[in-house]
Chain A
Amino acid sequence: MSTEQHKPDTSTTTAAAPGPHDAALAEHRRLERRLFIKQAGIVAGATAVAGYASLAPARWPLSMKDLDGERGKPVIPTLRLPEGGYAVAKSTVLPLLGVARGDKVGAMVRGAVDAIGGIGRFIQRGDIVVIKPNVAFERPAVLGATTHPEVLAALIHLVREAGAAEIRVADNPIESPQSCFHRTGIQQAAVQAGARVYLPSPGEFEMLNVPGATWIEKWPFFWRPFQGATKVIGVSPVKDHNLCRASMTTKNWYGLLGGRRNQFHQDIHGIIADLALMLRPTFVLLDASRVLFRSGPTGGSLSDVKLGHTMVASTDSLAADAFGWDNLLERKGEKLPAYFGKAAARNVGTPDWKSVTIKEVQVG
């Protein structure tokens, strides 16, 4: 085999018609060109879009310009409580305030609720009910700084009678929640009466949006017990308070807030007015079986506590609290704390309890 045989015949090759290999090569090149053009188009388009998004003024559509860094902050999902809260329909005939006096806690709780229409007006079969007692301090109940466990137990029994599917007891004491629930007797009373106790942990708070609130328009809220809840009842003691002068049913909702809530003490009246806006309960129960009339809100000495022999139920927490101010803390004639006026200005109730219908009963 000579080497010449292997020399390419250029004249023949040039003149020859393109073979299948050349056609495939040409097609391949054509496809590569298209590919290049398309890829170049994609890159150019992406560059143009990215350039626009990053350079366009902030007010232009799809602009990602973020001069002050505000747009770059993570958006924390917020929740809202139901429109209108957990209130039942207003009654034009039933009293707004029910006041029961006596010695037996169970009879007083029932009497006060009966006076405003009975538990059947508020709780229906299948309801999931959140009860919010005041468990703020690690103190025995006799010292009057917290809701009395007997009152809570009587209320739970009443709600169970109405057919509630589930009763949840929840509060967020700042001091060790386990200890507070235990030493106040609330834990034992709730569980024995058939309720579930919800103690707070960091994962159980969600950002709550309260439209119109001054301080807590967006604030961490003890959300877990409220998941699926259909009714909410507040039950709080009657207490003197070092800063706001009186802590009753409206101030009680403070215990549902998370975060560094102690900063709100700088404007205690403002935050209580916000709380009235935040939560519209089904009804509230003012536990005046004992009244902490001095050294509140913590108390300590039995000398600071007197027996009140009274229970007040109402669908209007401001009216209940104003009644408590005049008749239970016995500060009639003294000017109401400023939070009453601030809350009333938001149309969440009336502190003028004398203008509402009231039914007083003697029980037990």
Chain B
Amino acid sequence: MTLAPFALYFPATMGTETNPEDRLFVKGGWRHYRRTYSVTEVRWGLVTGGVLVLIAAYVAWRAEHPLDPNLFSDGATLLKAAGPRGELTVALGSAAPPVAGPAMKATANAGAETAGPAATTQVAATPGADRGPLPKQLAGAGWREDKITQFDPENLYVKIDGRADFFRTFGFKRLWNVLLVSEKDPATTVDVEMYDMGSGANALGAYGGERAPTAKPTVTEAGLHHLDRNALYLARAPFYIRVIGSDETSLITGKLGELADTLVAAVKGEPLPWAYGVFIGQMGIDPGKIAYFPDNAFSQAFAHDVWTIRPGAKDDDLELFLVAKDSAAAAKKMAGAFGKGFGEMGEAAGKLAGGAGLAGMALIKDQFLGTLSAATTVDRFVIGVRGAKDPGVVEQELGKLKDAVAQMPGELKARAKPAKASQGGSGEH
């Protein structure tokens, strides 16, 4: 075996005479070298090393004494503040802050439970931060505010994954959320969720969509609200407010009543949409039976800004609808579109014989349900009916709506304007 190939790369080591330029330490021929070193260089090296050590020491010290302590918070302190009855009994890892919990035993997986921030970002603000339209002094005696969070249409799913689209359908703009915690019992909490829906109609639409059929709303000039066991719901333009208690104890129900008063007083709202004047004022309909569809009503792409009521019993499919347009011509055009749309899902079923000023109105029979639909106009308003069992019901119920619209007070009629073009919600009402 020969070492010749290696010798090629180490020619300096092959000589028999000592060369003053021979390498002393670095024998490899791939890098430059010299036999001497500079004391100045060594000094500079020591200075540089010292600076690096100082920087590292400062970083370590600053980590222990952060300028903004919340910067490194993983929420555990908030949890501790809102913790349950039990005392904190275990610290999860020497370097990690403890997580609150009652009587946790040694089985806790320290590493896992102290896992840093969530995989997704929570948009959180510390108490005292921007609280948007949330009224001050929501907590009141015996309660304290915990965290305030905000969500926009892009991240609403973080708060209510799977339900976010419901609110987006109604033109959702922003959510402010604050958690109230009982000082008497930290496990007793109330979640206040204040959804800015952009308009009163949208707020009422969301409110109607979440209201239990048996709920009886209280009507005020500026909105609706009702208590439902552990929850309080309010529609105060442009906000839909949902307040959820952790249980149904008297502590919670008492707080909900107090919050109802606070929110009604603090959130000014605006007069209920014009359609409420027709349905409640003119026809005496239960406000809980009113619904609003900013877009795509009855699965018809053209059907924007549609108000509906279900005047019958719970299982009755009968539905009346009402739309305001700018002119009688526009109303006629829309009524025609409704007739055509209904016709695509059914067949002509003759015309209304007479009475209530609706004689000659074309009826469409739904091919699946066998019920009757129809649409017509009163001045610049489109009125119609769906799900009627027979022509007599159409005549009777649509007749009531026709009369109500025809007799609308001038002030109310002046407010009855079509919504501006919708982008996931409606405009002004």
Which residues 192-233 of B sit at the A interface, judged by CB distance below 8 A? 210, 212, 214-215, 228-231
Is B244's CB under 8 angstroms from A139's CB?
Answer: yes
- Shortest distance between the CB of A301 and any CB in chain B (Å): 4
| A interface: dominant SS | mixed
- Counting contact residues on chain A (CB < 8 A from B), the size range is 35 or more
* A197 contacts across to B, CB distance below 8 A: 108-109, 112-113
Is A188's CB under 8 angstroms from B102's CB?
Answer: yes
* A177 contacts across to B, CB distance below 8 A: 118
Count of B residues near A, CB < 8 Å? Answer: 57
**Residue B242 interfacial (CB < 8 Å):** yes
Which B residues have a C-beta under 8 Å from some C-beta of A?
7-8, 11, 74-76, 78-79, 82-84, 86, 99-105, 107-109, 112-113, 115-120, 122, 124, 157-166, 189, 191, 210, 212, 214-215, 228-231, 242, 244, 246-248
Is B113's CB under 8 angstroms from A199's CB?
Answer: yes
- What string of 1s and 0s marks CB contacts (under 8 Å) between A167-201 and chain B? 01000111111110011000110011011111111
| Alpha-carbon separation in the docked complex, A188 to B104 (Å) | 7
- Shortest distance between the CB of A297 and any CB in chain B (Å): 4
Task: From known contacts A31-B11, A242-B165, infer whether A303 and B99 are also in contact, taking CB-CB under 8 Å.
Answer: no
Residue of B nearest to A195 (CB): B107
Is B161's CB under 8 angstroms from A136's CB?
Answer: yes
Which 6 residue pairs of A and B lie closest in terms of their CB atoms, listed nearest first? A201-B115, A196-B109, A301-B231, A262-B157, A297-B162, A302-B229
Is B109's CB under 8 angstroms from A188's CB?
Answer: no
**Residue A34 interfacial (CB < 8 Å):** yes
Is B107's CB under 8 angstroms from A196's CB?
Answer: yes
Is A137's CB under 8 angstroms from B160's CB?
Answer: yes
* B99 contacts across to A, CB distance below 8 A: 178, 182, 187
Residue of A nearest to B109 (CB): A196
| Alpha-carbon separation in the docked complex, A305 to B78 (Å) | 29
Task: From known contacts A176-B122, A195-B107, A300-B244, infer whether A243 and B115 are also in contact, taking CB-CB under 8 Å.
Answer: no
Residue of B nearest to A259 (CB): B119
Is A34's CB under 8 angstroms from B109's CB?
Answer: no
**Residue A270 interfacial (CB < 8 Å):** no
| Alpha-carbon separation in the docked complex, A195 to B113 (Å) | 12
* A294 contacts across to B, CB distance below 8 A: 212
Is B229's CB under 8 angstroms from A303's CB?
Answer: yes
**Residue A202 interfacial (CB < 8 Å):** yes
A-B contacts besides A199-B112, A296-B162, 6 pairs, CB < 8 Å: A172-B119, A188-B101, A191-B101, A297-B161, A300-B210, A300-B244
23 contacts across the A-B interface (CB closer than 8 A): A35-B8, A136-B161, A176-B75, A178-B99, A179-B78, A182-B100, A187-B101, A191-B108, A195-B107, A196-B108, A197-B113, A199-B115, A201-B117, A224-B112, A225-B112, A242-B166, A295-B210, A297-B161, A298-B162, A298-B163, A300-B242, A300-B244, A302-B228
| Alpha-carbon separation in the docked complex, A104 to B306 (Å) | 48
Residue of A nearest to B163 (CB): A298
Is B115's CB under 8 angstroms from A200's CB?
Answer: yes
* A179 contacts across to B, CB distance below 8 A: 75, 78-79
Is A302's CB under 8 angstroms from B230's CB?
Answer: yes
- Shortest distance between the CB of B414 and any CB in chain A (Å): 37
* B228 contacts across to A, CB distance below 8 A: 301-303
